[in-house]
Chains A and B, each alone.
Chain A
Amino acid sequence: MAIISRGFSGRRSVADAKLPPGQYLTIDFPVLSAGPTPHISLDRWEFTIDDGSNVLKRWDWKSFRELPSETITTDLHCVTRWSKLGTSWEGVSLDVLLADVKPDLPYAMFRSYGDYTTNLPVKDIINKQAWIAFKYDGADLEPEHGGPARLLVPHLYLWKSAKWVNGMTLMPHDKPGFWENLGYHIYGDPWREQRYSEE
């Protein structure tokens, strides 16, 4: 049913070839958030891992920052259609955080200050695929981009990379988080263009 837009040729760049379908390149860093930006002081920040009944792990800012961290250079793809290439982050790998948790529960619900949630399969956050990031481009992560720390799962649409993250619950079954409950895709693979729940 494709309709040709008479006289439209677009503005294409060489870099578009590297982008998932339906994305366009940006060099700035837009923000998608559902509500106000929370401002979280480091002395009350914490990150916990639980299994729905028991807290399995807990870090405060000091103990979290004592964990080994790594630098990550990655492309970002937002469901609102911008992509940003080669971004630079520093964070703690989920492999480190889950090292002695031995998760036998296959799904996780991440939660944030400000009550945001997002769901992910555990297989998508282990094996060097996900980090809790606290620096962007060499500087402390700004609150509007999720500071002091956000989840970074760059192989999925960016709404999965929960800003202001403060914990995760391991679950036996998948269930939708905030945007997933509002019509966005349960998994969110940009290369398969899984934007909305009907796709």
Chain B
Amino acid sequence: MTWRTATVVGLHDETPTARTLALVVRDWPGHVAGQHVDVRLMAADGYSAVRSYSIASAPNSDGRIEITVERLPTGEVSPYLTQDVVVGDELELRGPIGGWFVWRSDQTESIQLVAGGSGIVPLMAMLRSRSSAGSGAPFRLLYSAREPGAVFYRDELRALSNQGDLVVITYAYTRVTPKDWPRPAGRIDASLIATGTWPSTLRPTSYVCGPTSFVEHATDLLIAVGHDRERIKTERFGATGERK
């Protein structure tokens, strides 16, 4: 798999700690929603560091991709990508990588997305892919964030959910809720799964992405209400993992 030159063409802060980088990648072969890329940084003396980041953007044919990077205070690559990179910089990148945690626009079944924190990124690519392909697949997203200010893609998600009842988004907050929010802050639970996700009788395909503890908890809840474990795909990241 070859390293390609990616030029930074846009930067956008999603939250105080997360930034989206728009990149134009030379000879980009195209991707499928849910895949990720490796990004390589190189110091002047040849030392290099590589981390994987999920692609946030929908598949397209113009060689442009977006990644959203959450800054980890002790991270090696994420502080550079979220604070030091400017438009016009070139990065080395390879991919797309991953053929399992993907949604293809010819899938017609109901889709349940479950995001914990920055686990929203590959799921956003799926929502965007659904829109750009004109898919009629029914999607639901259950998005658990620390607090309202930690939600990525807020305006775009609101616009998606206002287009009809084929994209339904439910938010959950673990630390701080908006004012007058009906549900107290806390991690997702059985009652939220009951109201915020497709019933298991619909046999949706589920994609669950987030920190390991979140994914373990969310998949246990889905299985407890009858979802087939074969229809649940997961992607986890650890406390120090910069994946996503």
Residues of chain A at the chain B interface (Cβ within 8 Å)? 1-12, 22, 24, 26-38, 80-82, 114-115, 144, 179, 182-183, 196, 198-199
Whole-angstrom distance from the CB of A160 to the nearest CB of chain B? 16
Enumerate B2-51 residues with CB–CB distance to A below 8 Å: 3, 5, 41-44, 46-51
Lowest 8 A-B CB distances belong to which pairs?
Answer: A30-B238, A36-B219, A182-B99, A5-B41, A31-B212, A11-B76, A198-B1, A26-B240
Contact A36 B223 (CB under 8 A): yes
Contact A12 B47 (CB under 8 A): yes
Contact A82 B238 (CB under 8 A): yes
Contact B3 A37 (CB under 8 A): no
- B71-114 vs A, CB cutoff 8 Å, 1 = contact: the mask equals 00010100010001000011110000111110000000000000
Chain A: CB-nearest residue to B213: A144
**Which of A1, A3, A31, A115 is within 8 Å of B238, CB to CB?**
A31
List chain B residues, Cβ under 8 A from A7: 80, 84
Contact B80 A8 (CB under 8 A): yes
Q: How far is A189 from B78 in the complex, measured between Cα atoms in Å?
A: 27
Whether A35 touches B229, Cβ cut-off 8 Å, given contacts A8-B84, A24-B76, A30-B239, is yes
Enumerate B195-226 residues with CB–CB distance to A below 8 Å: 212, 216, 219-220, 222-223
Chain B contact residues: helix, strand, loop or mixed: mixed
Whether A182 touches B98, Cβ cut-off 8 Å, given contacts A81-B51, A144-B216, is yes
Whole-angstrom distance from the CB of B111 to the nearest CB of chain A? 16
Whole-angstrom distance from the CB of A182 to the nearest CB of chain B? 4
Q: How far is A52 from B243 in the complex, measured between Cα atoms in Å?
A: 38
List chain B residues, Cβ under 8 A from A37: 216, 219-220
Whole-angstrom distance from the CB of A10 to the nearest CB of chain B? 5
Q: Does B234 contact A (CB under 8 A)?
A: yes
Contact A36 B43 (CB under 8 A): no
11 extra interface residue pairs, beta carbon distance < 8 Å, beyond A8-B80, A26-B240, A179-B100: A1-B3, A6-B84, A7-B80, A8-B43, A8-B84, A9-B43, A9-B44, A10-B41, A10-B47, A30-B240, A36-B220
